[in-house]
Amino acid sequence: MRISLRFVIPLAVTLGAIAYMVVPLVDNLTLKWFVRDLDIRTKLITTAVQDPFVELLTERTRDKVRLQRVQAFFNRILQDERLFALGFCDAAGTLVYKTPTLPAESTCRPPDAPPEETGRVLENQRGSLHVSSNPIVLEGKQLGELLIVHDMSFIERRSADTKKYIFYLFAAIAAVVALLTVVIAELSWRGLLAGVKALISGDRDAQALDGTRMPELRPIARDLQALVRDLEAERRSHDESQIGWGPDALRRILREDLKGDEVLIVSNREPYIHERRDNAVEIRQPASGLVTALEPVMRACSGTWIAHGSGSADREAVDENDRVRVPPEHPAYRIRRVWLTKAEEQGYYYGFSNEGLWPLCHIAHVRPTFRAADWEHYRTVNRRFADVVVDEARTPDPIVLVQDYHLALLPRLVRQRLPRATIITFWHIPWPNPEAFGILPWREAVLEGLLGSSILGFHTQIHCNNFFDTVDRFLEARVNRETFAISYGGESTEVRRYPISIEYPPAALAAQPPVDACRNRIRARIGADPDLRLGLGVDRLDYTKGILERFMAVERLLEIEPRWVGKFSFVQIAAPSRSSIDEYQGFEARVRALAQRINRRFGGGGYQPIILKVEHHDAREVYAYYRAADVCYVSSLHDGMNLVAKEYVAARDDERGVLVLSQFTGAARELSEALIVNPYDIEQSAAALQLALTMPAEEQRARMRSMRSLVQEFNVYRWAGRMLIDAARMRHRHRVLSSARAGRLHVINR
């Protein structure tokens, strides 16, 4: 519309100016025409009245009678509405007869004046008058002159009418021309826009148009497309804080930034496990931070999740291509299961991953075990996963999201087979310093594998920095800490911090009863008094989670504040994990033993200070515990992030409860309103528990509110979205750079 106005306004001004110049010209011209008409008319009247008037003048009668007759004659002639007055001048130039209307200015002409060609125009108070002197002749002798005065007001009326019509005419012309201009301008503008959009958007139809009508613009179009996408991606990344982060935002990024590109997730752990139990198949979601985080992301993105099929009924559930659609209630994406032999699972998963890399990366003072046979299995299984990725990829450039330390070799293996893929690897656990990592016999191979990624993500900047230091120490690579990039073997990997989170609000919170109902239900379930104060720990049964230290802190609390004996219990939900590993079996035994010892020391009469639940819980049950607990203690000795801390905060929509959080978790960098402790410092931890149990409601509310808004704002959709935006930005940049290499951007580069 604005474009149309740009045409119409100058057009209207021009036509107005033309009308302004034309109207006086037309006015003048029409006046001349009318005067000439009046001259002719006057002559006609004179000719018509000549004979009867001469007869009147020459009739032998008294002057008085003649006067009356001339008066009557004149009155008859004046019946004509345009005639205004009549008069007669004799041959001596004296006015002898006149109608009363004859103006004083219409005087007789001198007797010897030459005949008048045209009449005169007189202006008096009545307006314009046309006066003409017409000779009255008898047998060649002039008897005098008849003065015929015409009223010219009708001419003015007509002139005004003419002006009006001219104005209307020009207005009509302006309107028609404007309308035509608008229509043509709109059509051509739309056409142009469609053309430019077509050039820029680059969709198939548009390219057809591009190809047939504007082939000469094609190279510019490609560069424009790339640049516009790049700018859009830049803008989006700058606007990250403005996005309402949820499943829709992720879908929008996939649709708009990534143009619906294919997304594959690869992890060891699958999000749904089919288990055979008592002749029936059960579906279970494993206790895993990785699954907790990625499952809602995958529900939003669709795509394929490639994972080890570890359940006893997993083979029964898949189709002939080893795929199964999930979630079972509302399928939104599919799992492609990878099968491993028992020996492979033992060597790759339990051996190299969990007895080697896991303790290597966590400072929990458990020695890593490295066996060459495990390493061989690890390599074999990584290759198997790579085969499946290549098999599942429908396009040459999918986005492959590689998860965790089980698949460190996968990025390079995929890069070799799908060089155009965007590979985003996320390392869910800490990255150690070079000295610690340096004990790994195959350290170079692991680093090279990871550097096949386009983007490598960690939870915290410390882990990124440790990775830079490690690569710097062990590989011939260029480490650029300013751009957070590592160049190795001619390829570049961006190393970024992406703090993981949970979906907000969590799905498991949806059908929860009010907090009071949860409090009562959980206390009834553990056979406790409704007034019992409750502490809570939720973990996989893993030595890195600091469960022993946690129990020691509870014991110390009961020592220093005996008033809590009988009044405070600590529930520990401990999901069995990696239980075939000796270290884990030993750890479980130590946990059980410590709980028993403390219970023996302070328990009795149905009261247990430590309530240990070594079993898998349904996610909804876990949330019921969160809502029932007065304090949640996360005491990890070392933890990449720790999602339990965020889940506890998200579960407390009543803004009550206190989080006691280990300083060695990634979460402690975000949730600074928690009571941050060093879990090795038992005195300090016990004091924090005491502080938590006595914290005024107002302070609980203030701390909780602040942490809840952070978890809400920085949820798992934002975590995934930031990586996908970075992937989109990287893909656009590659496109622009490959155009530049092909020489198409030479103009812009100059």
Q: Pairing relation of β-strands 83-90 and 95-98?
A: antiparallel
CA distance 159 to 153: 10
Under the binding rule (CB under 6 A), the answer on residue 174 touching ligand GDG is: no
Q: Token pair of 701, please?
A: 């509310």
Q: Is the CB of 547 or the CB of 554 nearer to ligand GDG?
A: 547
Q: Report, in angstroms and rounded to the nearest whole number, the Rg of the chain calculated over CA atoms.
A: 50
Q: Does 428 bind ligand GDG (CB under 6 A)?
A: yes
The verdict on 708 binding ligand GDG (CB under 6 A) reads no
Residue 403 interacting with ligand GDG (CB under 6 A): no
Stretch that binds ligand GDG, among 202-210, 224-232, 283-291, 469-477 (CB under 6 A): 283-291
Nearest residue to ligand GDG, by Cβ distance, number only:
289
- When the beta carbons of 287 and 407 are compared against ligand GDG, the nearer one is 287
Write down the least CB distance from residue 620 to ligand GDG, Å: 8
Q: Which of 640, 657, 679, 721 binds ligand GDG (CB under 6 A)?
A: 640
For the segment 616-635, give every residue that binds ligand GDG (CB under 6 A). 616-619, 622
CB of 574 to ligand GDG, least distance (A): 8
Pure H helices in 141-217: 153-201, 204-213
Listing DSSP states for 10-36 in one string gives: HHHHHHHHHHHHHHHHHHHHHHHHHHH
> Interface residues for ligand GDG in 75-114 (CB under 6 A)?
none
Q: Tell which residue, 686, 665, 680, 525, has the closest CA to residue 598.
A: 686
Nearer residue to ligand GDG within complex by CB, 191 or 328: 328
Alpha-carbon gap, residue 48 to 123, rounded angstroms = 27
DSSP collapsed to 3 states, 501-512 = CCCCCCHHHCCC
Q: Is there a cis peptide before residue 396, judged by omega within 30 degrees of 0?
A: no
Q: Nearest to residue 595, comparing CAs of 582, 612, 607? A: 612
Determine the interface stretch with ligand GDG among 192-200, 221-229, 551-559, 614-622 (rule: CB under 6 A): 614-622
Using CA atoms, how far apart are residues 274 and 285, in angstroms rounded to an integer? 9
Q: What are phi and psi of 739, to 5 degrees?
A: -65, -45
Separation CA 662–CA 687 (nearest Å): 14
Check residue 271 for interaction with ligand GDG (CB under 6 A).
Answer: no
Nearest to 63, CA basis, from 102, 97, 99: 97
Cβ proximity to ligand GDG, 262 vs 539, nearer residue = 539
User: Looking at beta carbons only, is 397 or 621 nearer to ligand GDG?
Assistant: 621
Q: Give residue 530's Cα distance to chain centre.
A: 49
Of 44-52, 287-295, 490-498, 683-691, the segment contacting ligand GDG by CB under 6 A is 287-295
Answer for which of 45, 423, 536, 643 binds ligand GDG (CB under 6 A) is: 643
Judged by CB under 6 A, the residue of 469, 555, 639, 670 near ligand GDG is 639
Which span sits near ligand GDG by CB under 6 A: 95-103, 137-145, 326-334, 640-648?
640-648
Residue from 144, 289, 398, 449 in contact with ligand GDG (CB under 6 A): 289
| Residue 287 touches ligand GDG, criterion: CB under 6 A | yes
Q: Which amino acid is at 345?
A: E
Q: Answer yes or no whether residue 668 interacts with ligand GDG by CB under 6 A.
A: no
- Choose which of 152, 258, 318, 538 interacts with ligand GDG (CB under 6 A): 538
Spatial contact of 372 and 381, defined as CB atoms under 8 Å apart: no
Contact region for ligand GDG (CB under 6 A) — 42-50, 96-104, 511-519, 534-542? 534-542
Contacts (CB under 6 A) with ligand GDG, residues 333-392: none
**What is the rounded distance in angstroms from the CA atom of residue 151 to the CA atom of residue 86?**
11
d(CA 331, CA 441): 43
Give whichever of 99 and 685 is closer to ligand GDG, judged by the CB atom. Answer: 685
Q: 723-738: b or e for each residue (b if 16 or more CB lie within 10 Å)? A: bbbbbbbbbbeebbee
Using alpha carbons only, what angle is made at residue 434 by residues 433 and 439, rounded to the nearest 5 degrees?
110
Q: Which stretch binds ligand GDG (CB under 6 A): 271-279, 449-457, 639-647, 739-747?
A: 639-647
Question: Minimum distance between the CB of residue 190 and ligand GDG, rounded to whole angstroms?
Answer: 50
Q: Please report, as a single letter, which amino acid is at residue 82.
A: R
Shortest gap between Cβ of 587 and ligand GDG (angstroms)?
14
Which range touches ligand GDG (CB under 6 A), out of 42-50, 118-126, 183-191, 643-651? 643-651
Q: Which is nearer to ligand GDG, 291 or 446 (CB)?
A: 291
Interacting stretch for ligand GDG, rule CB under 6 A, among 72-80, 255-263, 267-275, 533-541?
533-541
Contacts for 434-437 with beta carbons within 8 Å, 24 or more apart? Answer: 434/466, 434/469, 434/470, 434/472, 434/473, 434/474, 436/360, 436/363, 437/360, 437/466, 437/470, 437/474
Q: Which of 102, 290, 414, 628 binds ligand GDG (CB under 6 A)?
A: 290
CB atoms within 10 A of CB 368: 17
Asked if 288 is part of the footprint of ligand GDG (rule: CB under 6 A), the reply reads yes
Q: Where does this chain touch ligand GDG (CB under 6 A) — which range of 536-544, 650-658, 689-697, 730-738?
A: 536-544
Minimum Å distance from CB 448 to ligand GDG? 24
Strands 568-575 and 610-613: parallel
Q: Is-contact 211 218, C-beta < 8 A?
A: yes
647 lies in the binding site for ligand GDG (CB under 6 A): yes
Closest distance between ligand GDG and the C-beta of residue 740, in Å? 37
The CA distance from 603 to 535, in Å, is 16
Provide, rounded to whole angstroms, the least separation between the CB of residue 228 and ligand GDG: 35
Contact code string over 493-512 relative to ligand GDG, x by CB under 6 A: -------x------------
Q: How far is the CB of 627 from ligand GDG (least distance, A)?
A: 13
Question: Would you count residue 408 as binding ligand GDG (CB under 6 A)?
Answer: no
Site for ligand GDG in 540-579 (CB under 6 A): 540, 573, 575
CA angle 264, 266, 271 (to 5 degrees): 100
Contacts of 207 (CB under 8 A, 6+ apart): 198
Residue closer to ligand GDG, measured from CB, 95 or 619: 619
The two structure tokens encoding residue 423 = 């590979």
Report the Cα 447 to chain-centroid distance in Å: 36
Interacting span for ligand GDG (CB under 6 A) from 281-289, 373-381, 581-589, 717-725 = 281-289
For residues 573 and 618, give the distance between their C-alpha atoms in angstroms, rounded to a whole number.
11
**Residue 422: which of 720, 718, 723 has the closest Cα?**
723
- Contact set with ligand GDG (CB under 6 A): 285, 287-290, 292-293, 428-429, 500, 538-540, 573, 575, 616-619, 622, 639-644, 647
